[in-house]
Amino acid sequence: MFYVYAIVSEKNGNVYVGLTGNIEKRVQEHNSGKTKSTKAFKPWRIFYQENCETRSEARKREKYFKSGVGKERLKEKLRQISAP
């Protein structure tokens, strides 16, 4: 099982999309500064995850969410979650 996930920086609201086989461990790595691209913007919290059967399927979904349309869809989900 693989997971596509989206996390948001509590520092500045940046959104990061990735894929992993162990989502809890991966978010912990982001928050401990082990990931160079997200280190400066920690702490992070997960706000979206999707289960995929194969790495290939997960990679396709990750690429979609990193595209302009996919990123906007994630930001809309984040706004819905954050709305009072």
* Residue corresponding to tokens 């869809």: 73
Task: Look at residue 83 and tell me whether its pLDDT is greater than 90.
Answer: no
Model pLDDT, residue 46: 96
- Domain coverage including residue 33: 2-82
pLDDT per position as a tens digit, 7-60: 999 999 999 999 999 999 999 999 999 999 999 999 999 999 999 999 999 999
Predicted pLDDT at 81: 86
Q: How many CB atoms lie within 10 A of CB 15?
A: 18
How many domains does one find in the chain?
1
* Closest-CA residue to 15 (of 25, 28, 5, 29): 5
What CATH number did the domain enclosing 33 receive?
A: 3.40.1440
